[in-house]
Amino acid sequence: MSDFDVLIINVYLLAIFMNLIKTKTIIQIYRLFKLLVVLLFVFVVYTIIKDGIPVLEFLFKGIPLVLLLIVSVQTEVILVLKKLGFSGTAFFSNTLEDTIKIELIKSVDYLSSKKIGALITFEKTNSLDEYVSTSYPINAALNSELLSTIFFPNTPLHDGAVIVRSNNIICAGAYFPPTERLDIPKQLGSRHRAAIGISEVTDSLTIVVSEQTGFISVAFNGYLDLDINKESLLTYLEKHLQN
């Protein structure tokens, strides 16, 4: 095995490890690993140029690495494209930054552990202004402390939904029409029915935390995925809100 092969393998392992720890570490450590991956990739490119690695060998070993790198730093890539002016399409609607995703998961994990009910809806291409207009305006960047405080029991806004648009909590105390489906399990309460209801009439994604069980669920496109873990929640965010 050549030194180049060892270098490629190390970059692969570091990139995979970085994605695995995303929900399990503080943002500063995650950013450090992301920087290391990028620096190692730059070193790979330098090695290819310096040592004259054959093009076919690079294509065979390096293209998957390029794809993995893009996945690892996709938020930064999208933000750069936005700054270059490529932001006028639905492709960039409500893109969540990594810091926001980590803050969100931190808050949802806390609410789940304390069995505090919550309803968090992310606007995509379908406007939620109809529901924003009848709720309480917030207009603040999403962070775990604010989100957890809004849903604290017996506060004025804890029963309604929070609506998130472009990394910001734009309102709280929003109410959605519940689903009229008859096949919903009876043990699911009004939050779950509202989450399904809004997902049936818009392309939004809604996170539900049950106050009875603490279970985390996600509603999208009329479907409710019950009792998911943090890793599955992150997958939903990156699949439906990263583009």
pLDDT greater than 80 at residue 213: yes
Name the residue with higher pLDDT: 1 or 88: 1
- What is the mean pLDDT of the segment spanning 158-169? 92
- The CA distance from 55 to 63, in Å, is 11
Q: CB-based burial of residue 224 (10 Å sphere; 0-12 exposed, 13-18 middle, 19+ buried)?
A: buried
- Rounded to 5 degrees, φ, ψ at 117 are -65, 145
Q: How much of the chain, in percent, has pLDDT values that exceed 70?
A: 71
Whether 72 has a pLDDT exceeding 70, the answer reads: no
Q: Which residue has the higher pLDDT, 70 or 36?
A: 36
C-alpha to C-alpha distance for 236 and 31, rounded to whole angstroms: 21
| Percent with pLDDT over 90 in the chain | 40
pLDDT at position 237 over 70: yes
Give Rg (Cα) of the chain. Answer: 21
Cα separations in angstroms, 36 against 29, 67, 78: 11, 17, 20
Q: Report which of 106, 132, 110 is spatially closest to residue 121, judged by C-alpha positions.
A: 132
Note the pLDDT of residue 100: 84
One-letter amino acid for residue 230 of the chain = K
Nearest to 213 by CA among 121, 114, 119: 114
Amino acid (one-letter) located at 184: I
